[in-house]
Amino acid sequence: MPYIIDGKKISAEIKDELKVKVSELNKEGINPCLAVILVGDDPASHVYVNNKKKACEYIGIKSLSYELPEDTKEEELIELVEKLNKDDSVNGILVQLPLPKQIDEDKIIKTIDPYKDVDGFHPMSVGALSIGQKGFVSCTPAGIVQLLKRSNIDIDGKECVIIGRSNIVGKPMSMLMIRENATVTVCHSHTKDLKEVCNRADILIVAIGKREMIDESYVKDGAVVIDVGMHRKEDGHLCGDVNYESASKKASAITPVPGGVGPMTIAMLMYNCVKAVEL
Ligand code: GUN
C-alpha cells in the first residue's frame, strides 16, 4: 500500500501558519486584502470563488467581492481591474477564469498589476519564475511542491515527468521542479510513447484532463504519483486523471482525489495573498 499524501491535512497546516502570520501583521496595523472578481454565472466558478472567500475569512484576510453579469464588456472589466490596481488597500487581485467569450483572458491577466497577481498568471510572474527571480508562483504547482516537501519526499536529482503543458499547471510546474533540482520531462498530446516516458519517472505529475487514464502500466515501481485531475463520475463520486486503485499497486506515495492536490490550490492562493503584503 502506498503512502497517501494528505492534501487536506497539509493545506490545513499551511492555512493555520498563515493565520498566525496575518494576526501578527494585524498587530502592525497591516490588514491583507484580496479582491475577487467573478464574471457570469458558471456554477463551478461560484463554488470556487466561495471557497476562496471562506479561506480568506478563516485566515483573517479581508476579501472584496465583485460579481459582474455574463454580458460584461471587456472595457468594463479592465476599468475595474485598473481601479483595484490603484487602490492601496487592495493587496491581491483575482479574476476567476474562465471568462465569458467576449472578454480576452490574456488581456485581463496582463492588466492586473504584477505586484497584486496572486494567481501568478501575469507574464511577468511567469517570466520571473522561469529565470529564478522573486514573484508569484501559480497556486496549483506551488501547492504540489509543498505536498512533496511536507511529505518528506526528496525532489533533488529525481526524474520528474509532467503530463500536460498548460500555462496554469504544466509549464509553471516544470519551472518549479527545475528550481528544486529535478530532471524534468514535460509530455503532451504529441509525445511519442507516453507510457515509456512515464515509466522513467520517480515523480509523475499528471495534469492530462482525461478521467482515470493513468493506470499502473504508466507507473514505475516505487514512483510518487501526483494527480491534478478532477472529474465527476456517473455515480456522482469524484476521481482524477489517475486510476487510483491501479496506480496504487506500484506507487510508493500517491495523492487521492478528492483530498490531494485540490485543497492545496486555495492554501497557496492564501500564501500568495500574504506574500503580496510583503512584495
Ligand atoms: N479557474 C480555475 N482555476 C483557477 C485559478 O486557480 N485561478 C483563477 N483565477 N481562475 C481559475
**206-235, pLDDT tens digit by residue?**
999 999 999 999 999 999 999 999 999 999
Report how far ligand 1's centroid is from the alpha carbon of 237 (Å): 22
Condensed to tens digits (0 to 9), the pLDDT of residues 15-37 reads 999 999 999 999 999 999 999 99
Residue spans per domain, the chain: 28-113, 139-262
Nearest CA among 177, 219, 199 for reference residue 2 = 219
The CATH code belonging to domain 139-262 is 3.40.50.720
Distance 39 CA to ligand 1 centre (A): 12
**28-113 and 139-262, same CATH topology:** yes
CA–CA separation, 12 vs 9, rounded Å? Answer: 5
Q: Is 230 in the pocket of ligand 1 (CB under 6 A)?
A: no
% of the chain surpassing 70 pLDDT: 100
Q: Name the band, by pLDDT with cuts 50, 70 and 90, for residue 74.
A: very high
Is 52 among the residues known to form the active site? Answer: yes
Of the residues 21, 52, 250, 275, only one is catalytic, namely: 52
- Closest ligand 1 atom to the C-alpha of 265? 6
- CB of 204 shorter than 6 A to ligand 1: no
Please tell me the residue having the least CA distance from ligand 1 atom 4. Answer: 97
Is 150 in a helix, a strand, or coil?
helix
At residue 151, φ and ψ (nearest 5 deg) are -105, 15
For 180-195, how does the pLDDT look when each residue is reduced to its tens digit (9 = 90+)? 999 999 999 999 999 9
- 173 has a pLDDT exceeding 90: yes
Residue 14: the pLDDT is 98
Q: Is the pLDDT of residue 278 over 90?
A: no
Which residue minimizes the CA distance to atom 1 of ligand 1? 97
What's the confidence (pLDDT) of residue 279? 80
What pTM was estimated for this model as a whole? 0.97
Sole residue written with cell 483575482: 94
Residue 119 annotated as catalytic: yes
User: What is the edge-to-edge ordering of all strands in the sheet holding 203-206?
Assistant: 3-4, 253-254, 224-227, 203-206, 159-163, 183-187
Q: What are phi and psi of 246, to 5 degrees?
A: -70, -50
Segment 158-170, tens digit of pLDDT: 999 999 999 999 9
Q: 119 in ligand 1 pocket by Cβ < 6 Å?
A: yes
Our answer to whether residue 96 is catalytic in this structure is yes
Q: Which of 137, 132, 80 is nearest to 114 (CA)?
A: 137
Site to probe by mutation for ligand 1, drawn from 53, 97, 110, 122 as the one with most ligand atoms within 8 Å of Cβ, is: 97
Compute CA distances 196 → 143, 161, 177, 192, 193, whole Å.
27, 11, 20, 9, 5
**CA 96 – CA 143 distance, rounded (Å):** 18
pLDDT at 128 over 90: yes
Q: Which atom of ligand 1 is nearest to the CA of 45?
A: 1
Other C-beta atoms lying within 10 Å of the C-beta of residue 245? 10
For residue 177, how far is the Cα from the chain centroid? 14
Distance 49 CA to ligand 1 centre (A): 9
C-alpha to C-alpha distances, 157 to 68, 199, 250, nearest whole angstrom: 47, 17, 21
CATH class belonging to 28-113: alpha beta
Under a CB-based contact definition with an 8 Å cutoff, are residues 212 and 240 in contact? yes
Say how many Å lie between the CA of residue 147 and the centre of ligand 1: 19
- Percent of the chain exceeding pLDDT 90 equals 99
Residue with CA at minimum distance from ligand 1 atom 8: 96
